Structures are given as structure tokens and as C-alpha cells.
Structure 1
Amino acid sequence: MQGLSSVSNHDLRDEIKAYWSARAETFDTQPGHEIFSEEERAAWHTLFRKHLGDGQGKAALDLACGTAVVSHLLDDLGFLVTGLDWSEPMLERARAKAAKRGRKIRFLMGDAERTMEPDASYDVITNRHLVWTLVDPLACFREWHRVLKPGGKVLIVDGDFVNTSLVTQLLKRLTRLAAKLGLAKDALHGAPNADMAETHNRILQAVYFSKGARADVVASLLREAGFTKVTIDANMSAIHRTQRKNFSLLKGLERATQHRYAICAEK
């Protein structure tokens, strides 16, 4: 197969789309993706309220919504939510979940980097674990700036999973060793099989943030795109504590040492 570093952005974007479509089947079974306790849900609510406040009927666009985990959090807080994703398998599960829970969330198929949404049409834009996959983040952030109303906010939840600390690297090795001994089944969380892990790594090598999506770099690009009042919130400990119950001990410690963050910026 031709290496992604030598193919066009169009081909790269197609591969990213195919990767997440393949991940849809098991996405909601994995801790860190779906929410498995009311305690974790409350921790996410606290983070969102801290940066976005209560919804009060404001229009929110949840980009790369996947199976709508974040869309439901926004709906909980009173936002009028539109979830946008370019993977039909993800959207199928998002629609089914919303119907089962009786939620009035609108879902659209679309590209987070080119939303096709009207100018100044949303009060809030959110996304989780999207930024690291972006082909052209500056152009993308300018697109989000265009879609937001004056005074609107974007909230990014992401991380740098490339430049890991020595502690994180050690914990990852120990987790993989524990997996070989049958003591940590979640060692390969995020990479269900070898083929998917290979695809993930191939994509990572080709995207803009191939060297890691550090919070300060993302914040700088947001400012260049026209955003102001850019705030980096690296305190994700409350969420990590609640997620730890669904991870093995080593995997939970590994996650807590990673460079994960929320960035809020205003138009």
C-alpha cells in the first residue's frame, strides 16, 4: 500500500474517514469514548459549564460528533445541538442513541474542516479528539471562526499523544506487558487490532500534528485564525479519576500522565 506521506490530502482525508467509519462499531464500548457512569458525566458537565456556561437554548455545533457523546452532554446543559460527522456509520449510531434517549439533536453529514454551515450561525462549537487529525488546522480554525456568532466560543478537548513523558512511556510498556500476561485487557485501548493500529499510525505520520498536538501550538493557531481570549485548561483530573474505574490500574495511571487539555477561545 502506498504510504500516506506521498499521497494527496484528498486521499489522506478519505483514509481518515474510512478509519473512523471502521471504528464506529466498537466506539461506544470503549472507556474514554462513551461515558459509563453518572460521576463521569457530571465531571464533563463541570468542564463544559466552566468554559461555556449553561446552554439556555443557544445553538451548539458538535464537530466530528461520532456517536454523539459530546452532543448529549451539550443537550444535557440546555444547548440546541447539531452534531456533524462525515462517517455515516457513526451518524447511524448517533441517531439511534438520540432516538432511544428521546433527545432532539439534529445530525448532519459533513466535514469539520469545511462545514458548509452559514456565517455566524452558532454560539458554541465543540469537538473532542478531532484536532490531532486535521490536515490544515489553520484553515479549519478560520472556518470555525466564520461559523461562530460574534462572542461565540469554541471548546477543543484533545491531547498530545506523540510527545509522551518518560513516566507515560514506562507505564505504557508495563501495561502492554500486563496485557501479555492477561492482566490488562485494555492495553491496546484505541487500537482494537493490529491492522487498525497500523492505519492509525500511518494517518498520524501524515497529518499536520504528526509531531504532536501540543496545547500551546493549537492555541497559537487559534489566535492566528482570529480568536481571542484563548484559555488552556490542562486540569482534566476530575474526568480522569472517574474514567479510572473502567481502566486497569496501569492504563488509568498512563492516561492521567498524558498531555490532555481543553482549550476555549472566543470570536
Structure 2
Amino acid sequence: MNSNYTLRDEIRDYWSLRAPTFDEQVGHEIFSEEERQAWRDLFLRHLGPGEGRRALDLASGTGVISHLLHGLGFTVTGLDWSDAMLNQARAKAAKRGADIRFVMGDAERTLEQPESYDVLVTRHLVWTLVDPKAAFREWHSLLKPGGCLLVVDGDFVSDTIVKRVIRFVEKLVPGLAGAPHAPNAMRETHERILSRVYFSKGAQAQEVAGLLREAGFARTIIDRDLKPIHRAQAKNLPLLKGLERATQHRYAVLAVKAST
């Protein structure tokens, strides 16, 4: 492999390959109004209505979260480093007539202007970060005084009793857990990447919150009540996958920058 080909390059290329089927999967795209409203409720609870405030959707993918924020009245920029994801996001925004700015950029090194956003949102990004300490300092710098970062993430790595039961049942009745998210070759790439990122042992809410405070955020709030989202998602998942989702360590962390 080219010695200049970094872990970040591998992560970018992996998600570019996943782009064509990204919106087919529960947990990526939203498949019911019930789930959409649950996401809206989460954002309103922590961020309030948009009212024209500037929001940055980090690692925006195909723009699912960008559209939710736009619908709440935010002026939205979606940032992603995959051309394939951005192409789909722009096409989706054009089809819906949504005035969302999508830009190419690394979520860990955005090149966006300091203190230019009121709100930052990430969904399922933090657990894949190579250098979260540097990323969190960067995100802190992008927020205006008093601005908010909302991290929606989870520990998708640690083994649990439920995971072990699911693997056992799957061996007895192959296919009962539903189709895998990605073909075998992509799963192998995913596992290779995961073994080398910062949270290779799993991203726990308390550790994420602690790193955010180290990065300069004045206060953090951990919200573990994501059940309305997971219940809605479970209706479009096989039984075992829905059970796994409901029992995973998933959370939101609100981090607030000091006002002065």
C-alpha cells in the first residue's frame, strides 16, 4: 500500500464506497414520520428552534441531519469529505428545494472560519475519529460564544450479553438477524479501520463528555433518552437487530461554549 495513504484516506474511501447504499439502511436515512419527529424533538430539546441561526452538520453524508436542521429553521452547512456522499446530498437538496450549503472538508480539520456557527451537530461521527482531542478543539473554535455542539453517538464496539445471544441465535438460524450492513469485504475494511481509531474499544458517553470539557467547552450534558428514536427505527428492523439497537450504549452529548 502507498506509504502516503493514511488512515484518514482509508476512512474517506470506505464511506465513499458505502455512499450508493447509505440511504437504504435504518439508522442512516429516516423511514417514518415517527422517527423524524423523534429527531426533531431531540434537536429542539437541546438546541431550540433554528430562527435563522447558522448550523454546521459535521460528516453530513447524504444530508439526512442537514435536512432535519433546515426544517427546524436553521441556516445549514453540511460538511463531508466524500465526493460520492456530497453528490447525493446536493441532488437530494435540489430535489426538495432545500437551500443547504454542502462543502468538501475533513470534520477533524474543517478549514471553516472560527466563531462562524451558532450550532454544530454530529451523528455517529465521534466513534470513528482518529484524533478526537484535536477535532473537539477545532469544533470549539468554530462556535460563536455561547454556541452549542450536539454529539449523537454510541458505543457500537463493546461486546454485550445481547450481542452474544444474537450471534448464538444467528448460528442456529442463519439470516434471522437480517442482511448485514455491508458485504464481507467492506466489513473487513471497517473492522481494520475500527481497530486503529481512537475509540477502538468503544466511545462511552462519559469519556466523550470529559474530552469535550478538556477541549474548552464550559459544560456538558449527557442525554441517554434516545428511546423514541430507537423504537421508531426498530419497526423497520428485524427483531434481533431492533433488540440490539435498543440495548446499545447510545446517547447524545450537549457541549456549550462559554458566552465570553
1:224 to 211, 214, 220: 214
Cα shift at 1:172: 4.3
Letter in structure 1 aligned against 2:178: K
Letter in structure 2 aligned against 1:76: G
Name segments (4+ residues, structure 1) moved above 2 Å: 171-178, 182-186
Letter in structure 1 aligned against 2:113: P
- Match in the other structure for 1:44: 39
Count, aligned residues: 257
TM-score normalized by the length of structure 1: 0.93
Query: How do 1:160-179 residues align onto structure 2 when only pairs under 5 Å count?
Result: 160-175=155-170, 177-178=172-173
Letter in structure 1 aligned against 2:31: F
Cα shift at 1:185: 2.5
1:260 to 240, 250, 260: 250
Contact persistence 1:85–1:91 (CA under 8 A): yes
Identical counterparts, % of pairs: 64
Cα shift at 1:166: 1.2
TM-score normalized by the length of structure 2: 0.95
Structure 2: stretches of 5+ with no match in the other structure:
none
| Alpha-carbon spacing, 1:57–1:39, altered in 2? closer, same or farther (3 Å) | same
Does residue 104 of structure 1 match 2:94? no
Query: How do 1:133-148 residues align onto structure 2 when only pairs under 5 Å count?
Result: 133-148=128-143
- Match in the other structure for 1:87: 82
- Match in the other structure for 2:118: 123
Cα shift at 1:174: 2.6
Structure 1: stretches of 5+ with no match in the other structure:
none
Contact persistence 2:166–2:177 (CA under 8 A): no
| Alpha-carbon spacing, 1:172–1:257, altered in 2? closer, same or farther (3 Å) | farther
Contact persistence 1:164–1:259 (CA under 8 A): no
Cα shift at 1:228: 1.9
| Alpha-carbon spacing, 1:215–1:109, altered in 2? closer, same or farther (3 Å) | same
Cα shift at 1:165: 2.1
Does residue 199 of structure 1 match 2:186? no
1:159 to 128, 132, 154: 154
Secondary structure of the structure 1 residue equivalent to 2:70 = helix
1:56 to 51, 56, 59: 51
Cα shift at 1:149: 0.3
Aligned CA-pair RMSD: 1.5
Cα shift at 1:20: 0.4
2:145 to 150, 155, 158: 150
Over residues 202-243 of structure 1, what are the superposed CA-to-partner deviations in whole Å (9 max), with x where a residue is unaligned? 000001111111111110000000002201111111001101
Cα shift at 1:173: 3.9
| Alpha-carbon spacing, 1:22–1:230, altered in 2? closer, same or farther (3 Å) | same
State how far apart, in whole Å, the 2-side matches of 1:150 and 1:44 are. Answer: 25
Secondary structure of the structure 1 residue equivalent to 2:52 = coil
- Match in the other structure for 2:178: 185
Cα shift at 1:245: 1.1
State how far apart, in whole Å, the 1-side matches of 2:132 and 2:183 are. Answer: 29
- Match in the other structure for 2:11: 16
